[in-house]
Structure 1
Amino acid sequence: MMSGSQSATDIRDMLLDAAGLSLDRLPMLHVIFDRMSTSCAEHLRHMAASPMYYSLSGLESGRITEILEMYEANAVAGIFHAPEWDSHILIGFDRDFIYTMVEVLFGSDGSEPPVEEARGFSNIELKMAQTLFEQVAKALQASFSPIVDTKFKLERIETRMDFAVIGRRNNQAVAAKFLLQALNRGGEMFVIIPQSVLNPMRKALSQVVTGESSGRDPRWMKQIATEVKKTEVTLKAVLEERFLSLGEIADLKIGDVIELQATPRSRVKLESNQQGLFWCHIGQSEGSYVLKVDELIDQEKEFLDDVLPR
């Protein structure tokens, strides 16, 4: 016979299962999946030459059958066993994700139009998906480690969502959706975790783990710095700026010559996003023009020169 406290706990869990989790009250869940997307992106960058962007696009809750219906005949799913949770989870890639990853991993430059054929997945595509499933599972395991230590073992791969069983299909679950962008195209990855697995962790997931918001984690600070340094920016070298009236510009014709005051010894302004960065000198090397950085531009002085009358 169950005690009164056990009975109350069981009833409370049953009510929660029926109602669904309030994701707004589980901020740590967002942190976990953000970490997972960062880890996946970092791993994929080592596998391909083309830049790829991975991001958490949303969290939602619903019945397993309703979530999977959106991907029927359009995705491949990996079914994982989590022994410590005594349950299963699902990781899936939609068709666009698979097609994009095949192009990226096999060295495509994106010049060919994206594949839009709705066909069965090839053996190569399924083998690639299996490799990616295992890498994503490791990222998910590492991301959950501050809350609970568990392992995910891949049991099988399904291409029919009605066979992707991880519990009673009418049960509530949480789905995290991730967007992959590469070669001017992309796709979606999704992770489905039964709500019954997350219910015992509600308290831990309701608050950010100590040190996440107030203290600085050196490992994550280094990770963020590394990602920021990989950001591509456009540099523009400005030899001279001339100011013409609209009438003068309208009168310009092919063959007209615009005289500049600059000489080969004039300094060139190197800027990005309309903000001056360095003063440089122009030169030549092996038949090409080159710039030699001479001086860092004083941003405050540059701002005052722009806004104050001369």
Structure 2
Amino acid sequence: MSGTGPESEEDLAAAWGAALEDDGEPAAPSLPEATRVLNQAEIDSLLGFGGGAGDGEALTGIERIISSGLVSYERLPMLEIVFDRLVRLMSTTLRNFTSDNVEVSIDAISSLRFGDYLNSVPLPAMLAVFQAEEWDNYGLIVVDSPLIYSVVDVLLGGRRGTAAMRVEGRPYTTIERTLVERLVTVVLSDLTDAFEPLCPVNFRFERLEVNPRFTAISRASNACVLVKLRVDMEDRGGRIEMLLPYATLEPVREMLLQQFMGEKFGRDSIWETHLAEQLRDTAVALEVVLAEQVMPLSTVLNLKVGDRIALGVTPGSPVRLRCGDVAMFEAQLGRREERLAVRIERELRQETADPRLPTGEASA
């Protein structure tokens, strides 16, 4: 066979290689040329680090994606009214509790993830876990270090005009924990009273912790409502932060969606109660019906003085008490002293009456 030289062998190897490429995996496509590269300003805008969100502009990039997963507390308008009521109650009770001039105000109400809040708790602090008994869930109250030392100083007779002395680097003593527990109990009592017009609930103190890891009352990804309260006692004071998971507020979510007290989606419990009380005092007239008989109109027109109408009832037969066109009771006719009287035997249920039948008759 001719053509068995080196050139023929190279051509044969090239043909085999081309056949293998056709039967095997396709060759990788060529990469297109790079069209455009983002600059630093565009990257900052995408990540939300441009600094414009703090000026009232809309969030951008990843911040918008993250914030879209949260439920804003503003969708629960009644919750803000509850906390306004709590501030007024706390101002009075803390004045009685400390015998000092106390002013309580709301710094902010916001929504955030439970895990994000635990990571941002300023330590040292005391974290009180409380339970909403009727809702069968938990909440969290955080008392910061300045308020702890201020309350201890006030309750133990510290002089006015002097700032509370702080000792860093040591754990809280038993006396400090006991006094803070009393403070938290007072706050929970006011919180119970603040929710009273909306729904009855009892907030009960569970335990006091100093490590946020031991206060896991909800999943880290669950949304919560955070209320920051400022407590000022002349030249001393601090913060109380209250955290309520949305799972805790779920049993009363419909009530918290109200725009004003008593709305209840078209129903007003105040007016319902008032009307019920007035209806109970309303005077009604009851008629005793001995018997009824259906007669043709011609017979009624031919009646004369002295005619008799046979009712077809025997002495002692039950009679019916009727209010208007509604039969209400079945009774026995009798006499008491010089007057006729009836004794009620049973109540006639309205749902068993057929409105198509004559009054006082029931369907079989």
Verify same fold: TM over 0.5: yes
Map of 1:101 onto structure 2: 151
| 1:167 matched to 2:218 | yes
1:126, distance to aligned residue in structure 2 (A): 0.3
| 1:210 matched to 2:262 | yes
Map of 1:25 onto structure 2: 75
Instruction: Decide which of 100, 105, 108 is 1:58's aligned counterpart.
Output: 108
- Structure 1 residues 222-301: aligned runs within 5 Å: none
- SS of 2:134's partner is helix
- Structure 1 residues 26-41: aligned runs within 5 Å: 26-41=76-91
Map of 1:82 onto structure 2: 132
Q: 1-side partners of 2:155 and 2:236: how far apart?
A: 14
Q: 2-side partners of 1:92 and 1:34: how far apart?
A: 19
TM-score, normalisation: structure 2: 0.50
- SS of 2:88's partner is helix
Map of 2:167 onto structure 1: 117
Q: 1-side partners of 2:173 and 2:134: how far apart?
A: 34
Map of 1:92 onto structure 2: 142
CA displacement 1:56-97 (0-9 Å, x = unmatched): 211111111211222253211111122321211111211111
- SS of 1:153's partner is strand
Q: 2-side partners of 1:162 and 1:39: how far apart?
A: 31
Map of 1:45 onto structure 2: 95
Map of 1:143 onto structure 2: 194
Q: 1-side partners of 2:110 and 2:198: how far apart?
A: 20
Q: Do the aligned partners of 1:80 and 1:155 also contact (CA within 8 Å) in 2?
A: yes
Q: 2-side partners of 1:48 and 1:194: how far apart?
A: 30
Contiguous gaps of at least 5 residues in structure 1: 1-17, 212-310
CA displacement 1:275-300 (0-9 Å, x = unmatched): xxxxxxxxxxxxxxxxxxxxxxxxxx
Map of 1:190 onto structure 2: 241
1:31, distance to aligned residue in structure 2 (A): 1.1
Q: 1-side partners of 2:239 and 2:245: how far apart?
A: 20
1:200, distance to aligned residue in structure 2 (A): 4.4
Structure 1 consecutive aligned stretches of length 4 or more whose deviation exceeds 6 Å: none
- SS of 1:84's partner is coil
1:98, distance to aligned residue in structure 2 (A): 0.6
Alpha-carbon distance change, 134 to 95 in structure 1, aligned in 2, over 3 angstroms: same
Instruction: Decide which of 131, 156, 173 is 2:207's aligned counterpart.
Output: 156
1:193, distance to aligned residue in structure 2 (A): 0.7
1:194, distance to aligned residue in structure 2 (A): 0.7
- SS of 1:146's partner is coil
- Report 1 or 2 for greater relative contact order, CA contacts < 8 Å, sequence distance ≥ 6: 1
- SS of 2:175's partner is helix
Q: 2-side partners of 1:35 and 1:168: how far apart?
A: 29
TM-score, normalisation: structure 1: 0.58
Q: 1-side partners of 2:222 and 2:129: how far apart?
A: 16
Q: Do the aligned partners of 2:224 and 2:245 also contact (CA within 8 Å) in 1?
A: yes
- SS of 1:79's partner is strand
Q: Do the aligned partners of 1:80 and 1:88 also contact (CA within 8 Å) in 2?
A: yes
1:154, distance to aligned residue in structure 2 (A): 1.6
1:101, distance to aligned residue in structure 2 (A): 1.1
Instruction: Decide which of 231, 242, 249 is 1:180's aligned counterpart.
Output: 231
Q: Do the aligned partners of 1:41 and 1:52 also contact (CA within 8 Å) in 2?
A: yes
Greater Cα radius of gyration, structure 1 or 2: 2
Q: Do the aligned partners of 1:104 and 1:183 also contact (CA within 8 Å) in 2?
A: no
- SS of 1:46's partner is helix
Give the residue type in structure 2 aligned to 1:153: R
Map of 1:4 onto structure 2: none
1:178, distance to aligned residue in structure 2 (A): 0.4
1:55, distance to aligned residue in structure 2 (A): 1.2
1:166, distance to aligned residue in structure 2 (A): 1.0
Q: Do the aligned partners of 2:72 and 2:110 also contact (CA within 8 Å) in 1?
A: no
Q: 2-side partners of 1:49 and 1:107: how far apart?
A: 10
1:167, distance to aligned residue in structure 2 (A): 1.7
